[in-house]
Amino acid sequence: MACHAKDTKVVGPAFKDIAAKYAGDATATDKLIAKVKKGGSGAWGSVPMPPNAQLSDADAKALVTWILKMK
Ligand code: HEM
Protein backbone atom coordinates (compact mmCIF):
# COMPACT_ATOMS: atom_id res chain seq x y z
CA MET A 1 0.00 0.00 0.00
CA ALA A 2 3.00 2.29 0.38
CA CYS A 3 4.05 1.50 -3.18
CA HIS A 4 0.85 1.31 -5.24
CA ALA A 5 -2.39 3.28 -5.46
CA LYS A 6 -5.42 2.79 -7.66
CA ASP A 7 -5.26 6.00 -9.70
CA THR A 8 -1.75 7.42 -9.31
CA LYS A 9 1.81 6.22 -9.66
CA VAL A 10 3.57 6.02 -6.28
CA VAL A 11 6.76 3.92 -6.28
CA GLY A 12 5.04 1.42 -8.54
CA PRO A 13 2.54 1.98 -11.34
CA ALA A 14 -1.14 2.81 -10.64
CA PHE A 15 -3.31 -0.29 -10.56
CA LYS A 16 -5.62 1.15 -13.21
CA ASP A 17 -2.62 1.71 -15.52
CA ILE A 18 -1.57 -1.94 -14.99
CA ALA A 19 -5.12 -3.05 -15.85
CA ALA A 20 -5.09 -0.91 -19.02
CA LYS A 21 -1.67 -2.17 -20.11
CA TYR A 22 -2.68 -5.84 -19.91
CA ALA A 23 -6.30 -5.53 -21.09
CA GLY A 24 -6.89 -8.26 -23.64
CA ASP A 25 -3.72 -10.17 -22.73
CA ALA A 26 -4.90 -13.67 -21.84
CA THR A 27 -1.50 -14.61 -20.39
CA ALA A 28 -1.32 -11.56 -18.10
CA THR A 29 -2.74 -13.16 -14.95
CA ASP A 30 -0.17 -15.97 -14.77
CA LYS A 31 2.68 -13.66 -15.77
CA LEU A 32 1.79 -11.08 -13.13
CA ILE A 33 1.29 -13.66 -10.35
CA ALA A 34 4.89 -14.77 -10.94
CA LYS A 35 6.12 -11.17 -11.09
CA VAL A 36 4.34 -10.15 -7.86
CA LYS A 37 5.86 -13.13 -6.00
CA LYS A 38 9.39 -12.87 -7.40
CA GLY A 39 9.61 -9.10 -7.88
CA GLY A 40 11.45 -7.56 -10.80
CA SER A 41 11.87 -4.49 -12.96
CA GLY A 42 11.82 -3.37 -16.57
CA ALA A 43 8.12 -3.41 -17.41
CA TRP A 44 7.49 0.15 -16.19
CA GLY A 45 10.97 1.55 -15.57
CA SER A 46 14.17 0.76 -13.77
CA VAL A 47 12.76 0.84 -10.21
CA PRO A 48 12.35 -2.79 -9.07
CA MET A 49 9.40 -4.27 -7.20
CA PRO A 50 10.78 -6.32 -4.30
CA PRO A 51 9.73 -9.98 -4.01
CA ASN A 52 6.47 -10.66 -2.14
CA ALA A 53 7.35 -14.28 -1.45
CA GLN A 54 5.11 -14.55 1.61
CA LEU A 55 2.02 -14.50 -0.61
CA SER A 56 0.35 -17.84 -1.30
CA ASP A 57 -0.48 -18.61 -4.94
CA ALA A 58 -4.16 -18.19 -4.10
CA ASP A 59 -3.63 -14.76 -2.54
CA ALA A 60 -1.39 -13.62 -5.40
CA LYS A 61 -4.02 -14.74 -7.89
CA ALA A 62 -6.79 -12.93 -5.99
CA LEU A 63 -4.74 -9.71 -5.91
CA VAL A 64 -3.79 -9.84 -9.60
CA THR A 65 -7.38 -10.64 -10.62
CA TRP A 66 -8.57 -7.66 -8.55
CA ILE A 67 -5.93 -5.32 -10.05
CA LEU A 68 -6.69 -6.34 -13.64
CA LYS A 69 -10.39 -5.52 -13.18
CA MET A 70 -9.68 -1.87 -12.24
CA LYS A 71 -10.58 0.91 -14.64
C1 HEM B 1 1.48 -7.86 -2.64
C2 HEM B 1 1.80 -6.60 -2.94
C3 HEM B 1 1.97 -6.11 -4.37
C4 HEM B 1 1.24 -6.40 -5.49
C5 HEM B 1 0.00 -7.28 -5.62
C6 HEM B 1 1.87 -5.69 -6.61
C7 HEM B 1 1.45 -5.72 -7.93
C8 HEM B 1 2.17 -5.26 -9.01
C9 HEM B 1 1.89 -5.54 -10.41
C10 HEM B 1 0.72 -6.41 -10.92
C11 HEM B 1 2.84 -4.90 -11.15
C12 HEM B 1 2.99 -4.89 -12.68
C13 HEM B 1 4.16 -5.80 -13.10
C14 HEM B 1 4.43 -5.84 -14.60
O15 HEM B 1 3.81 -5.09 -15.37
O16 HEM B 1 5.28 -6.66 -15.02
C17 HEM B 1 3.73 -4.21 -10.22
C18 HEM B 1 4.86 -3.46 -10.58
C19 HEM B 1 5.65 -2.75 -9.70
N20 HEM B 1 5.53 -2.71 -8.32
FE21 HEM B 1 4.24 -3.84 -7.24
N22 HEM B 1 2.95 -4.98 -6.12
C23 HEM B 1 3.05 -5.22 -4.77
C24 HEM B 1 3.99 -4.70 -3.90
C25 HEM B 1 4.94 -3.74 -4.24
C26 HEM B 1 5.82 -3.10 -3.29
C27 HEM B 1 5.84 -3.39 -1.80
C28 HEM B 1 6.56 -2.20 -4.01
C29 HEM B 1 7.62 -1.21 -3.55
C30 HEM B 1 8.46 -1.43 -2.54
C31 HEM B 1 6.17 -2.31 -5.41
C32 HEM B 1 6.71 -1.61 -6.46
C33 HEM B 1 6.51 -1.88 -7.80
C34 HEM B 1 7.29 -1.33 -8.89
C35 HEM B 1 8.46 -0.36 -8.77
C36 HEM B 1 6.76 -1.90 -10.08
C37 HEM B 1 7.26 -1.70 -11.53
C38 HEM B 1 8.21 -2.87 -11.88
C39 HEM B 1 8.64 -2.85 -13.34
O40 HEM B 1 8.91 -1.80 -13.90
O41 HEM B 1 8.74 -3.95 -13.94
N42 HEM B 1 5.18 -3.26 -5.50
N43 HEM B 1 3.30 -4.44 -8.93
Q: Which atom of ligand 1 is nearest to the CA of 31?
A: 16
Tens of pLDDT, residue by residue over 15-60, are 999 999 999 999 999 999 999 999 999 999 999 999 999 999 999 9
30-34 long-range Cβ contacts below 8 angstroms, 24+ apart:
32/64, 32/67, 32/68, 33/57, 33/60, 33/61, 33/64
Any domain includes 5: no
> Is 3 within the bounds of a domain?
no
Model confidence at 71, in pLDDT bands (50, 70, 90)?
confident
Report the CATH number at residue 50: 1.10.760.10
Q: Is residue 58 part of a domain?
A: yes
Residue nearest to atom 14 of ligand 1 (CA): 43
* Mean pLDDT calculated for residue range 1-19: 96
Please tell me if the CB atom of residue 65 comes closer than 6 angstroms to any atom of ligand 1.
no
Q: Does residue 10 sit within a domain? A: no
Per-residue confidence band for 1, with pLDDT thresholds at 50, 70 and 90? confident
Domain of 26, in residue numbers: 15-68
Ligand 1: residue of 3, 36, 49, 66 to mutate (most ligand atoms within 8 A of CB) is 49
- Number of separate domains in the chain: 1
